[in-house]
Structure 1
């Protein structure tokens, strides 16, 4: 058995690789350069734009975990074409796709990804190959709260600042909790289609602040800031080009009442897997 894990050195793939290995599954890190992987970890060099290199990696695989890196739509669609072509040729036993926070399970919502978007196209194209496929649909990652401009103000000033309204409920989820779901879906093919992951009911800003207060041992309040103000805070960290899409996302979210998963297709309902509380997640976060 072999499981191919894309992005194995990044925020999404690294926890999946670690969880697979911890469970005794023979996982292989699919990376651009082999020297990016720690010694002793099986790895394969791939090019997401090269269907040939992907098909070679996928051949005989029991599972493939893949997500689209951030980038312009034109580049992402090139990756989609290569991935789908490789899956159709190599026919791995299973493919699990992460939406990376893009919404694909709320038809009719303004937040729903367009049918011709890279993520929707990837899901459709891979599904058309006939390979057993599951999609992990996330919302917002708890790790976003660890940005220095967010956690730093909570630690120093007792104020958790984030670009969402105070009462805005979100199905927050950590990368490690997503990895638990991915491992199940890679190794157990009984569930296919979209599996939504995240807190349900959703968590509000004051809920997050209360969790930070417990972890830091001090009072922490929540303060909603504008997406534009958040963009100014993160621009020195990521640059204006990378910050722009983030601002656009939060501008869109601010037009809605919530950003939560539905219980019917949740990991809680379909798999019996619930995410940890924010308090439990923070207990393992160094400050």
Structure 2
């Protein structure tokens, strides 16, 4: 069985690739440049802007893991159409999509993405293509806390600074949790629709700081920062368009009560997979 993994050298795709490699699966990674993984898996270049290149990459695949790159939403919508067209042409046995934090499974929430947005567009394309698919719906990733500006403040000031209110609960998860769910869903073709990934109940900023305190053996407190400052610090790494999207997200989160999953469609309920605690995650990544 062969699997095609988008973003195979990136934060979301690489853990999926690594997990499949460890299981002895035949894997091909997709990225911006040709190369190989640490274990010799081929990485091929396929542009999101080319339906032809994507179709060629998907041909003969048993499973495809997809997530949209950070960027301007107009571009992401175009990529969603292209990916859906390529998947429709190639007809892989199974497709697993990560929303990368875009909310698509809480229609009563103000955070629910509009139907014309990129991720709902991609999901709709899969539905129309009649493919076997499942959608992983995380909220915020713990790896966001590894941004240098965040970790530097933890190291030097003993303060976890993040652009969320101190009383704002989030169903945090890690990219490792996402990979666990994605690889399980490749085999669980009986499960369709959206699977929420994240801690339930949600964790607040002080909860995260408490986990850092326990892990480091010294006190770490929580201090809210602003979306604008956070975006300025991220811009050199992810570009102006990506940073603008991050700022808009956290400005939006400031207007709502929470960013949590519901337990009914969670990986805990559907797959029996519990996300790592923050302390377990810190220990596993060796920080």
Q: Return the TM-score normalized by structure 2.
A: 0.95
Secondary structure of 1:258's aligned partner: coil
Over aligned residue pairs, what C-alpha RMSD do you find?
1.5
- Residues 92-147 of structure 1: per-residue CA shift (max 9 Å, x gap): 00010110111101113221111011110000011111110100001000001111
Match of 2:31 in 1: 31
Contact map agreement 1:63 1:187 (CA 8 A) in 2: no
Secondary structure of 2:65's aligned partner: strand
Query: Which has the higher mean CA deviation after the structures are superposed, 38-47 or 206-215?
Result: 38-47
Match of 2:161 in 1: 161
Q: Return the TM-score normalized by structure 1.
A: 0.95
Structure 1 pair 90/236, CA: closer, same or farther in 2 (3 Å)?
closer
Match of 2:242 in 1: 242
Secondary structure of 1:116's aligned partner: coil
Contact map agreement 1:165 1:224 (CA 8 A) in 2: yes
Structure 1 pair 232/75, CA: closer, same or farther in 2 (3 Å)?
closer
Match of 2:130 in 1: 130
CA shift for structure 1 position 90: 1.2
Contact map agreement 1:9 1:36 (CA 8 A) in 2: no
Q: How does 1:38-57 map to 2 (within 5 A)?
A: 38=38, 40-57=40-57
Contact map agreement 1:58 1:92 (CA 8 A) in 2: yes
CA shift for structure 1 position 238: 4.2
Query: Which has the higher mean CA deviation after the structures are superposed, 257-266 or 185-194?
Result: 185-194
Q: How does 1:57-206 map to 2 (within 5 A)?
A: 57-206=57-206
Q: How many residues align?
A: 287
Distance in 2 between the 1:197 and 1:251 partners? 23
Distance in 2 between the 1:265 and 1:74 partners? 29
CA shift for structure 1 position 284: 2.5
Structure 1 pair 188/252, CA: closer, same or farther in 2 (3 Å)?
same
- Residues 191-215 of structure 1: per-residue CA shift (max 9 Å, x gap): 1100000000100111100110111
Contact map agreement 1:155 1:216 (CA 8 A) in 2: no
Contact map agreement 2:35 2:42 (CA 8 A) in 1: no
Secondary structure of 1:155's aligned partner: helix
Secondary structure of 2:285's aligned partner: coil
Contact map agreement 2:72 2:242 (CA 8 A) in 1: no
Structure 1 pair 80/152, CA: closer, same or farther in 2 (3 Å)?
same
Distance in 2 between the 1:243 and 1:29 partners? 26
CA shift for structure 1 position 12: 0.5
Query: Which has the higher mean CA deviation after the structures are superposed, 223-232 or 159-168?
Result: 223-232
Structure 2: tracts of 5 or more residues without a match: none
- Residues 232-262 of structure 1: per-residue CA shift (max 9 Å, x gap): 4434554544322211111100111110000
Contact map agreement 1:61 1:92 (CA 8 A) in 2: yes
